[in-house]
Amino acid sequence: MSRIETTFAQLKEKQRKALIPFITAGDPGLEVTVPLMHAMVEAGADVIELGVPFSDPMADGPVIQKACERALAAGTGLRDVLAMVREFRRGDDQTPVVLMGYLNPVEIMGYERFAETCVEVGVDGVLLVDLPPEECDEIGPLFKERGIDLIFLVAPTTTEARIARIAEAASGYLYYVSLKGVTGAASLNVEEVAARVETIRNLAQLPIGVGFGIKDAQSAQAVSRVADGVVVGSALVNQVAAHADEPMAITPAVSEILADMRAAMDKL
Amino acid sequence: MTQRPDSTQTPDYGAFPDARGHFGRFGGRFVSETLMAALDELETMYRRLKDDPQFQADFDYDLAHYVGRPSPLYLAERWTEQLGGARIWLKREDLNHTGAHKVNNTIGQALLAKHMGKKRVIAETGAGQHGVASATVAARLGLECHVFMGEEDIRRQRLNVYRMKLLGAEVVPVTSGSRTLKDAMNEAMRDWVTNVDDTFYIIGTVAGPHPYPMLVRDFQSVIGREAREQSLAQAGKLPDALVACVGGGSNAIGLFHPFLNDEGVAMYGVEAAGDGVDTGRHAAPLSVGRPGVLHGNRTYLMEDDNGQIIETHSVSAGLDYPGVGPEHAWLKDIGRVNYVSADDNEALAAFRELTRVEGIMPALESAHALAYARKLAPTLGKDQDIVVNLSGRGDKDILTVAEIDGINF
């Protein structure tokens, strides 16, 4: 069983939902990320989504755009992100790590070399925002044979036929994008999300994480009632941005938000 | 002159892209999931309307009566004489309504938007020509129009910015990244994801996710179809060479596509070499870039070793783009089209020369094609013919050229 599968199975047993924080690797500096990852696990994270910075983050709102800019200014490349996971694994061989980003940096490294390195450093899943299942003929098998989960987005606009198709190509979990928009956009509508998650459940066996528009403990709690996992990104990256000049303050600020979310989700 | 790969069979160029939008290894549909349904819807609608005689008739009517087509194929006699080689013919897209080839495509996409019941259109623009062409068709159809434009381009092209405003469009300044065309396209994509239900995205070039490279090419191919007929009628034969500038590549593919199966016609796509292709300050991904994925398609890109897109430079805002349409990437790989480049100085020299010798002021984008034609003509015989796509007029560039001349209005 993969780390991701194990994690969701264990959570299910305990009747808990996954808390999945997202941060951009190397934001605001390379040395910040690994200690922050450990701190997030400490604060209650079950899976970590680590953003690979890209110069043209088309699906992201201003918060993650700026995070990418800071990380790139600090010199963070895909190789550095992979090295961070290697370092993280020295202190944590339980918590799944998912790399999230855009296809081009992976394309330049080469699919096979990237897949090999993921296995070597302990990456569990990869979510490439601009890589739909239709374009996965080459990369899909490379990941599958190495046991790396390929995670896909499902959107409010995704038809039922496509959901079934995505579910077939996906492993690990499905990431339901709660609203039409970019990351960090307006608040989500919990009833709508609940209805969509039901539809997805009827078409897919995989656990369902919900992201986009989860801003605080209250929305995390509401979403965790209907989904298997809650993804929170911009709300945390906002804290990184606020403390970019004093990196020592980043970890406590991010941890506090996560701990609040954890507590609210576990109250159910 | 055209290099060919070692294959026994020439492909039927009309058969591309394949069903999923691929031109060989290029093209495709690399977007976030939210847009997949919208692209499917667009593709279905386009494939249906493409062969609908009424849609074609509407398109042709607008091209004739609103755009003013066919555009002339003009023999530049004095310039030909001066260069002392092949005859140079100019395909006068500069005479179109709004002053460039861009309107051929926006007319087509606006008709699609109308059929799809969309009330709001968005567009990205570099030089402002596509923005103006989009604002124009939106005004005519009473659609709400938002044009995304990099802050740097807004400064360089303030005349076009004002034109768009007069036409009723909102020009949205883009302040992220390099503040040019690529960033405007990112921002347009973000808007589209957010407003996908009621919004039609009018992409201005043959790039972007499938079906855009295909449908923009089809709409622009009117240029080549006319040029082909006009060459046969006026020169009595097909041209020996075609020359067009390539940023995203829509005017070039529009000219080239109807000639691709004509083996004797050599083709030259001219990229912007900026300060020179060896300086790093240019916009010539086909000349010195490598394949990657950006803005929904796989193509040649200007990027660093980490796969980050790098900033481009060109005196012409319309060529200041780090990618290129996927069909061009494919045509380069199979050797059907030769991709070359002209730098800022060569383009400016050609701009001045055509203005003085023929009384035609070309857009700085088109001046890159002219700069190459200027080199090519003397190498060919006097009985040979070159068709250069004069893709736009230079009025919008007067301030840029004046600035270079040290004149301030």
Domains and CATH numbers, chain B: 22-63+102-216 (3.40.50.1100), 70-100+221-404 (3.40.50.1100)
The secondary structure of residue B68, as a DSSP letter, is -
Q: Distance between CA atoms of B31 and B28, rounded to whole angstroms?
A: 10
CB A188 within 8 A of CB A149: no
Spatial neighbors of A248 by CB under 8 A, at least 6 apart, are: none
Band of residue B3 on the pLDDT scale cut at 50, 70, 90:
very low
What confidence tier does B238 reach under pLDDT thresholds 50, 70, 90? very high
Averaged confidence pLDDT in chain B: 95
- Which CATH number goes with the domain that contains A40? 3.20.20.70
Q: CB-based contact (8 Å) between A177 and chain B?
A: yes
Closest in A56, A152, A158 to B186, CB measured? A56
Identify the pLDDT of residue A11.
97
pLDDT at B1 over 60: no
* Residue A2, token pair as written in the block: 């993969």
Q: What is the pLDDT of residues B304-351, one digit of tens each?
A: 999 999 989 999 988 989 999 999 999 999 999 999 999 999 999 999
pLDDT digits (tens, 9 = 90+) for B4-58: 444 456 789 999 999 999 999 999 999 999 999 999 999 999 999 999 999 999 9
Q: How far is A61 from chain B (nearest CA, A)?
A: 8
Q: Is the pLDDT of residue A215 over 50?
A: yes
Which pLDDT band, with edges at 50, 70 and 90, does B155 fall under?
Answer: confident
**CA B101 to chain centroid:** 8
Half-sphere exposure in the Cβ direction for B166 (13 Å, CA): 8
- pLDDT interval class at A160 (50, 70, 90): very high
Whether B237 sits among the annotated catalytic residues: the reply is no
Q: Evaluate if pTM is beyond 0.80.
A: yes
pLDDT of residue B65: 98
The DSSP string of B11-47 is --GGG-S-TTSEETTEEEEE--HHHHHHHHHHHHHHH
Mutation to test the A interface, candidates B22, B26, B31, B33, most A Cβ within 10 Å: B33
Q: What is the dihedral of CA B42, B47, B51, B56, to 10 degrees?
A: 20
What is the rounded distance in angstroms from the CA atom of residue B116 to the CA atom of residue B103? 20
Distance from CA of A49 to the nearest CA of B (A): 17
- Establish whether B102 is a catalytic residue: yes
A131 half-sphere exposure, CB direction, 13 A CA radius: 25
How does pLDDT run across B244-296, given as a tens digit for each residue?
999 999 999 999 999 999 999 999 999 999 999 999 999 999 999 999 999 99
pLDDT in the model for residue B9: 65
The pLDDT tens digits for A218-254 are: 999 999 999 999 999 999 999 999 999 999 999 999 9
Count helices and strands (H / E) in chain B: 16, 14
- Residue numbers in A near B177 (CB within 8 A): 55-56
Dist CA A239 CA A242 (whole Å): 5
Per DSSP, the three-state class of A236 is helix
Interface pTM, i.e. ipTM = 0.95
A-B contacts (CB, under 8 Å):
123
Q: Count of domains in chain A?
A: 1
- Check pLDDT > 80 for residue A186: no
Q: Does the structure show a pLDDT above 50 at A61? A: yes
User: CB-based contact (8 Å) between A108 and chain B?
Assistant: yes
- Report the candidate in A119, A127, A147 with the shortest Cα–Cα distance to residue A52: A127
Query: Which of A107, A163, A177, A200 to probe the B interface (max B CBs under 10 A)?
Result: A107
B chain contacts of residue A109, beta-carbon cutoff 8 Å: 307
Q: Is the pLDDT of residue B192 over 80?
A: yes
The chain-wide mean pLDDT, for chain A, equals 96
Task: List, in sequence order, every residue forming a beta bridge with A97; answer none if it has no partner.
Answer: A48
Reported as type and span, the H/E element at residue B150 is: strand B144-150
pLDDT of B180 above 90 = no
Of all residues in chain A, the percent with pLDDT exceeding 70 is: 100
Looking at residue B177, its pLDDT comes to 80
Bridge partner list, B296: B30
Judged by a CB distance cut-off of 8 A, whether residue A172 touches chain B is no
pLDDT tens figures, A105-125: 999 999 999 999 999 999 999
Q: Which domain holds residue A200?
A: 3-266
Instruction: Kindly state the tokens that stand for B338.
Output: 């030769």
Most A CBs within 10 Å, among B26, B30, B297, B311, to test the A interface: B30
Q: Give the closest residue to B360 by CA, choosing from B74, B62, B9, B35.
A: B74
pLDDT tens digits, A18-47? 999 999 999 999 999 999 999 999 999 999
The pLDDT score that the predictor gives to residue B7 is 47
Residues of B in contact with A154 (CB under 8 A): 33
Higher pLDDT, A183 or B307: B307
Would an 8 Å CB–CB cutoff place B19 in contact with chain A? no
Least confident of A132-146, A172-186, B5-19: B5-19
